[in-house]
Amino acid sequence: MAADNTQGERTRLAWRRTTLAPLALIGIVVAHLLVATGLAGLAAVLLMLLGWLGLYGVARRRMLALRAGSTAQVVRSPVAVALICAAFAVPGLLLLLR
């Protein structure tokens, strides 16, 4: 029983790390875009924050499902996270190509 509890806790911590990593990216993008592009940069940052809220929502529902022992959310979570992470790659690529 202790092994199951430990596994669940590690999974919840992994989901929390998944939601924290994009915040670091948003901070870097804020530093570059707001200084360099003004209002267009602000719009990009707001879109990234909206994407982060979506990622946080997916992770939160997944953590709650894990705690409840439900597997209904398991199938859709990786697809949603992959799409959101791909969307986060676009501003990163634009910064690299500048």
CB atoms within 10 A of CB 21: 13
pLDDT band at 1 (very low <50, low <70, confident <90, very high): very low
- The pLDDT, as a whole number, for residue 19 is 81
State pLDDT tens for residues 47-66: 788 888 888 888 888 878 87
Q: Indicate the length of the chain as a whole number.
A: 98
Rounded alpha-carbon distances, angstroms, from residue 52 to 9, 35, 92: 22, 21, 14
Instruction: Give every CB contact of residue 23 below 8 A, 6+ residues apart in sequence.
Output: 52
